[in-house]
Structure formats: structure tokens, C-alpha cells
Amino acid sequence: MAARGLRLGELGLHGAAFICGIVCASALTVAQGDFGGLCLLYGTVSWNGTALVPRAFSHISLCHFVTIVTILVALYSFSSFLYGIYTCCAEDSPWDRVWLRVALVAALIILFFLFICACILRVGMDAFCASILQSKSFSSCQEAELAPWVSYSPTHFYHNLYSAQASAWVNVFLWCLLTARMLLLRRSEDPFQLLPPNNPEWGAESEAIFGGRPVGP
């Protein structure tokens, strides 16, 4: 019962990771769409007295990197979710020794790239909002959603960037739990176990090797 509960919990983590990946990628894409597909992260703006003027944007490949990574991780999470459902229905163990090692390596790689993406979103959004606040026309970055922009008409860029960042960090936390789960499974598996000295099998093996005990007169 406990093992089945852990497997169901693992299913829930993969499902939540899939949702977080889709939310992160879609929110960042919508935020880019408000600015003609340009990447807002690490961007700079200024205030000309009547409207905000975009001065510089990051290279589009930076946002594409975050989007591609989160989508690939979401697809992997969804595949693991479906495989977990299959193993639960088939009453089969989802882990063997080889598959566990492969899944653990994959989880560590995924966690590494997700952490990089989350840091890019956090630092990039902070830099963009800091540039807006430096104009001294707004007390918060969220207020800039209601301000006029030159050449653009963004409506919810702050909420979209915040949603992408929050989803990315939640995804990192979920994959930390999944990686910890796999590490515990890896640690609990015992490649071989020594028999205790008083085990009958130990005596039988000893007799087979050393020819048995001498029989007294």
C-alpha cells in the first residue's frame, strides 16, 4: 500500500511538472507577443515624458532557449506520467536497475537546465523591471502595464513574466522532489546481500565449496 502511494505521488509530481512547463512556455511566449516577438528579458526602456520607449531587447535565442527547454521537459514529464499510469494499471514495477540509473541521470540533467532557465527568467525580469523603475515615473513594474508605450501596446507583460518565472521555480522544486525520490530508490536497492553466518544456505554453500564437514567415528 505504501509503495502504491509513493507511485501515485510520483504520478502527481510528473503531472504537475507537465503543467508548470506548459504554463512557463506559454506565458513567456505571450509576453513576447506583446512586443512583436522580441525578448523582454534583460531589456531596457526609458521614459520620454509621455510614454515608455524600448531601448534594447535581448537576443531572441535567449527566450527561445527557455521556451524549448521547458517544452521538452514538459513532454518528458507527460511521457513519464503516461508510463506511470501504465505500470499502475499493469501492476508492474516501474523501476529496474538499468532504467533507474537512466532516469536518475535524466532527472539530474533536467534539474540543471530548469535551474538555469529559472535563473534567466528571474534575473532577466528583474533587469527589465529595474530599467522601468529607473525612469522614476512608476512605483512598481506592474504599473507599467497601464502606461502608454511607443510602438507597442502591451497589456499584461508583467503578469505573464511573473507567471513564467513562478512556474519555472515551481518546476525546479518538483524535479528536486522527483530526483530525491530516485536517489532514495537508488540507495535502497541492494546489488547483493551477504548471508548471515547462521543462515542454512550459507552452510550448504560452504559444504559445496569445501567438501562438507568431516564425519566423526
Residue 127 CA to residue 141 CA, distance in Å, equals 11
Q: pLDDT over 90 for what percent of the chain?
A: 42
Stretch 74-83: mean pLDDT:
92
Residue 19 scores a pLDDT above 90 = yes
Residue 191 scores a pLDDT above 60 = no
Residue 179 CA to residue 186 CA, distance in Å, equals 10
Indicate the Cα dihedral angle 84, 167, 176, 86, nearest 10°: 0
Name residues whose C-beta falls within 8 Å of residue 154's C-beta, 6 or more positions apart in sequence: 31, 34, 35, 145
Sign of the Cα pseudo-torsion (188, 191, 195, 196, in order): negative
- Range with top average pLDDT, 143-152, 184-193, 195-204: 143-152
- Say what the pLDDT of residue 216 is: 47
Q: Which residue reads 554453500 in cell numbers? A: 205
Residue 107 CA to residue 179 CA, distance in Å, equals 6
pLDDT per residue as tens digits for the range 25-40: 999 999 998 888 889 9
CB count within 10 Å of CB 155 equals 11
Residue 206 scores a pLDDT above 50 = no
Residue 212 CA to residue 208 CA, distance in Å, equals 7
